[in-house]
């Protein structure tokens, strides 16, 4: 028993030396959605709280996200999230691509796939209730429509 504990502790210490390569944080993003587009305050606040940690360059890393093996998970999810959709680069997208992403956001919300459960379990303020979901869906739809007026 004691031996197992020692092995586990040793393992924990050793994996700390494996670099997690957490994606870099950049605060100044001139093409950011919230900088380039008029977004209602309540929507902007929801986007920041529920999406921006993975879908922007402004990730807020809590202390435990620097500890392996959590760091490995956070690193992977953040990297994949940004690759799929990065709100910090939003205004570089064409109108058509924006429409595609807005429609996908609507579908992800409908399915309850985003934000990911593993994220909201810890980040309770990122949880979206039915009212938040409706508000976000209405906003993505209005915004997409306004792009082609």
90, 32 Cβ separation under 8 angstroms: yes
Q: Which of these ranges, 17-25, 44-52, 78-86, 107-115, lies near other proteins under the rule CB under 8 A? A: 107-115
Binder among 28, 38, 63, 148 for other proteins (CB under 8 A): 148
53, 123 Cβ separation under 8 angstroms: yes
End-to-end CA distance of the chain: 69
| Alpha-carbon distances of 2 from 10, 11, 94, rounded to whole Å | 12, 14, 60
107, 114 Cβ separation under 8 angstroms: no
Question: Should residue 80 be labelled a site residue for other proteins when binding is judged by CB under 8 A?
Answer: no
Q: Which of these ranges, 9-17, 39-47, 100-108, 124-132, lies near other proteins under the rule CB under 8 A? A: 100-108
Binder among 96, 116, 118, 122 for other proteins (CB under 8 A): 96
Binder among 99, 127, 133, 135 for other proteins (CB under 8 A): 99
Residue owning tokens 């409706």: 134
Least distance from C-beta 63 to other proteins, angstroms? Answer: 37
Which two tokens mark 89? 């680069």
Which residues within the stretch 15-54 sit at the binding site for other proteins (CB under 8 A)? none
> Angle 130-147/41-50 helices, nearest 10 degrees?
110
Least distance from C-beta 110 to other proteins, angstroms? Answer: 6
Residues of this chain that bind other proteins (CB under 8 A): 94-97, 99-104, 107, 110-111, 141, 144-145, 147-148
């Amino acid at each position: 028993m004691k031996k197992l504990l020692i092995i586990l502790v040793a393992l924990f210490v050793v994996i700390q030396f494996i670099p997690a390569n957490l994606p870099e944080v950049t605060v100044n993003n001139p093409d950011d959605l919230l900088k380039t587009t008029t977004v209602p305050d309540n929507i902007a606040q929801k986007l920041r709280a529920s999406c921006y940690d993975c879908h922007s360059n402004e990730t807020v890393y809590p202390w435990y996200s620097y500890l392996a093996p959590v760091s490995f998970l956070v690193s992977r999810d953040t990297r994949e999230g940004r690759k799929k959709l990065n709100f910090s680069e939003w205004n570089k997208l064409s109108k058509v691509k924006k429409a595609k992403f807005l429609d996908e956001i609507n579908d992800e919300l409908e399915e309850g796939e985003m934000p990911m459960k593993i994220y909201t379990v810890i980040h309770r303020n990122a949880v979206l209730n039915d009212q938040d979901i409706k508000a976000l869906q209405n906003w993505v739809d209005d915004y997409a429509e306004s792009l082609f007026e």
